[in-house]
Amino acid sequence: MTYIEYGRTLTAMRYSTEHKAENHKNILSVAARTFRERGADSSGIGTVMKEVGLTKGGFYRHFESKDDLFVEAVARAFEEMGNGTAEAVKSAPQGQALRIIIERYLSMRHVNSPGSGCVLSALGPELARKPLAVRKRIESLLDAYRERLLPFIPGRTREEKLVKCRLLFSSMAGVLMMARMTPDPQKREQRLMEARSFFIKCFAEE
């Protein structure tokens, strides 16, 4: 009887751990999407937990604060962005990877899909208003994301590649933000096309 009860206890503990991990994963997935779609300030803890199907009270079994959730959600977004980029350039012709990245980033599909797109263009102003400790954590995530992009950036030295990477992606994030603000679809597409042409000429045709 003792053995059976012990086995049941282990099974229950394993289920509880796996269940908690799955819930944590789901919370992050929803937060990463809803924060980019609606803004983190507009998407409260209750909103995220309700969409996952959990109570607001259960939030603190997974995160110490909303800032912790915010940082982890941004980390998830960077991971998704990096994976999407890697997949997009997997079969790119020699020397064409950066062109494909620029065209993919400055596309109407990206403009219309903030929830699965660039976290910088979706949350830039909110990121800038976060406390210093949070911004430092975000900067570390951004540095790691840039490392994934460096192989596709032209340059003779690592520092030259980093400078170009920072300039290119911060500039493209600004273009994307402005495109989303533009109500006229034709003007939006025109601005994206102009930006694609400019960035490809400046960065991808060296």
Q: What total of structural domains would you count in the chain?
A: 1
Spatial separation of the C-alpha atoms in residues 49 and 46, rounded to whole Å: 5
Q: What is the residue range of 195's domain?
A: 2-204
**Tens-digit pLDDT profile for residues 183-201:** 999 999 999 999 999 999 9
DSSP per position, 52-86: HT--GGGGGGT-SSHHHHHHHHHHHHHHHHHHHHH
pLDDT for 184 = 96
> Is 2's pLDDT higher than 70?
no
Q: Which residue has the tokens 């520092």?
A: 159
Q: Cα dihedral angle (146, 148, 152, 153), rounded to 10 degrees?
A: 20
| 162-182: average pLDDT | 96
In angstroms, what CA-CA distances link 81 with 27, 56, 170, 179, 190?
18, 28, 15, 19, 24
Q: Model confidence at 149, in pLDDT bands (50, 70, 90)?
A: very high
pLDDT above 70 coverage of the chain, percent: 92
Three-class SS of residue 145? helix
pLDDT for 152 = 95
Q: Model confidence at 16, in pLDDT bands (50, 70, 90)?
A: confident
User: What's the CATH code of the domain at 91?
Assistant: 1.10.357.10
Q: Model confidence at 206, in pLDDT bands (50, 70, 90)?
A: low
pLDDT for 42 = 80
5 — phi, psi (to 5°)? -65, -40
The answer to which of 21-30, 37-46, 140-149, 158-167 has the lowest mean pLDDT is: 37-46
Question: What value does the mean pLDDT of the chain take?
Answer: 90
| 53-78: average pLDDT | 89
Three-class SS of residue 20? helix
pLDDT for 60 = 83
> Is 3's pLDDT higher than 60?
no
Q: Which residue has the tokens 């990096």?
A: 82
- Residue 171: exposed, middle, or buried by beta-carbon count in 10 A (0-12, 13-18, 19+)? middle
